[in-house]
Structure 1
């Protein structure tokens, strides 16, 4: 029976890098090894497993089927090893460490900047990084352990691998300019709203999906007009006076207070949603991760 005892971290990295670059020279450069050393490890792996893992084709070294099967596990082992190293390094101190945070656009833009600034001031030795994508993309990154924690704005989130905790409520509201025809109506009807020119969010946005659903429920064919993948661009377009859009109430607080935009909350629960804080159930809660989750929760527990 083949043993995994000889599978050192170096060999696992060689498997992962060869699958990506297909060249021994590239792998050697990245690992700062000599090419004969990389070849030596490759031959040892094939000897230990008793199967061919690599093929040589026109200067490239793709993996065989057996090699691809090993690669699948090598990636997982390498990720867990990196995570373990970070968790142990953070365990007994908050003077150093790294925290990878992911967030969808609303919490990333309107909630996290102040919190990250204050946390960084309290723990200057900690490196904080923030990745901003749509909620489904961030959820997938967390499930694959590419990030340590996520803040997501969504109607509902479910995942067997993630721990979800709602930290505050959010709401989608219709926004329009003070010069728009809707501004003269205290309670615009669904028919009046559906007849407006909409600025649509990007196709992967959860807000886009809710907007499409609402328009379809009220007999409106999806517009072929403007589609913008930026909240700020959407707000600026709506301020020009002709278009309307559904956006997070959190995203337009400043513009509403300054009289630049009006909002309307359509009746029904379709536009109610939460901001969720999510962590991976199988990620060890290091001192740094635990402290940051407590810090985030305390910020939302305070009266706004």
Structure 2
């Protein structure tokens, strides 16, 4: 079974057609067809159904796909390991992170990494922490950044980078900004602009409110912190967000951090990777760089948080 046939098979699956696969691989379409036919002949079963000009995987094709993906991954890792001499790293890094970290923690790391190792391709996947952890367990991601309370997972190595302070924010003209201290009872009749269900810091906030008999309205949910910030500044309600995501708006006076008892209301940024998955040189360097940047985050956190 030739590896190039498997790569072609995966490209047809990815692009959805022989024509698109040929274009992406810079092959003649007849070459793609011949390779798939050779693979089907070797395996003794069709891998695709051709229905009304659509290409669909057969049951055999679906069963072959994860094995082909793993072979392709190991092929790339082998080439990367052999070619990784000095600073000439190559290969692909698949990194996952929730939106908050992708926007406010990862850019300086990725910028420095790309300056040092331009041959490494970085594919960044945003998502919820639970989803990203599952993709990491399945080997579909190399590194995952998490924003949540402390967790334990025997399959994953999870390193603390920095503790993140939360902020309960309001538009500048909101009546609660006049209070010296905001109590949970003051939020009973307020509109809270929620992050998606299951978000780590939404869960944290709900626990505090639920202890006081206050339950958030589930009909108002956002998948984007940026959307929540814009709606808060527009006067639609209050929001409970990581301080790093609202720091600029607070400094510019576009929002106000309410004087809220935030005792035990912390989430943390973690970096995680699989304990049983081989770690490429590029992955090792990226993890080292993340820890280096985290040292700066921890030093600057105290000063920034004192502004609240």
Q: 1:274 aligns with which of 247, 263, 268?
A: 268
Write the deviation string for residues 114-145 of structure 1: whole angstroms up to 9, x where unpaired. 33334444555555554433333433443444
Q: CA RMSD in A?
A: 3.4
State the Cα distance separating 1:56 from its structure 2 match. 5.5
Q: Secondary structure at the match of 1:218?
A: coil
| Count of matched residue positions in the alignment of Structure 1 and Structure 2 | 296
Contact 2:166/2:262 (CA < 8 Å) preserved in 1? Answer: no
SS in 2 for 1:243: coil
Corresponding residue to 1:187 among 171, 174, 181 = 181
- More moved, 14-23 vs 275-284: 14-23
Alpha-carbon distance in 2 for matches of 1:257, 1:31 = 49
- Does 2:208 match 1:202? no
Counterpart position of 2:305:
none
What's 1:4 paired with?
none
| Partner residue in 2 for 1:142 | 136
Task: Say if 1:284 and 1:88 are closer, same or farther in 2 by CA, change over 3 A.
Answer: farther
Please tell me whether residue 169 in structure 1 is matched to residue 163 in structure 2.
yes
Structure possessing the higher radius of gyration over alpha carbons: 1
Task: Give me the whole-angstrom Cα distance separating, in 2, the residues matched to 1:52 and 1:100.
Answer: 31
Q: CA offset at residue 8 of structure 1?
A: 0.9
Structure 1 residue aligned with 2:145: 151
In the other structure, the counterpart of 2:258 is 263
How far off its partner does 1:155 sit?
Answer: 1.7
Give the TM-score of the pair, scaled to structure 2: 0.77
Counterpart among 87, 97, 101 of residue 94 in structure 1: 87
- Post-superposition Cα deviations, 1:173-195, rounded to whole Å, max 9, x if no partner, equal 32224432322333322211233
> How much has 1:261 moved relative to structure 2?
1.2
Match of 1:292 in 2: 286
Per-residue CA deviations over 1:239-293 (Å, capped at 9, x if unaligned) read 4556211111222333444554123443553x32210011233443333322222
Residue 250 of structure 2 is aligned to residue 250 of structure 1: no
Q: Taking structure 1 as the reference length, what is the TM-score of the superposition?
A: 0.78
Query: Of the candidates 56, 62, 69, which is equivalent to residue 75 of structure 1?
Result: 69
Which sits farther off after the overlay, 61-70 or 20-29? 20-29
Unmatched segments (≥5 aa) in structure 2:
301-308
**Mapping of residues 41-60 of structure 1, within 5 Å:** 41-51=35-45, 53=47, 57=51
Contact kept in structure 2, 1:172 and 1:265, CA below 8 Å: no
The residue matched to 1:198 in structure 2 has which SS? coil
Q: Over residues 54-80 of structure 1, what are the superposed CA-to-partner deviations in whole Å (9 max), with x where a residue is unaligned?
A: 555555564443343223322222233
Distance 1:163 1:113 in 2: 23
